[in-house]
Amino acid sequence: MPPTVAQQVFVIGSGIAGGAAGFYLAKELSEFEDVPVPPLAIATILSVFFTFGAAIYLVKKIRTPY
């Protein structure tokens, strides 16, 4: 598939996951008055690393032969 389409597929998939996570968080966090910062920071860092890590994985798999 063309690189521009592959990029769109990746971003759309990540966006769907982000949207689903947003709905889940909105529902679950509405029960609380405050959200502790340390778990929020860790969850955010994990989200960043796993999302960017998936992009790095994809590029490395494309560059190296199967």
* Annotated domain spans of the chain: 3-63
Q: Are 11 and 51 in contact (CB under 8 A)?
A: no
Q: What is the pTM of this model?
A: 0.77
Report pLDDT for 66: 65
Rounded-to-integer distance, Cα 37 and Cα 25, Å:
15
Report pLDDT for 49: 95
Place of tokens 């502790």: 36
**Residues 16-54 pLDDT 10s:** 999 999 999 999 999 999 999 999 999 999 999 999 999
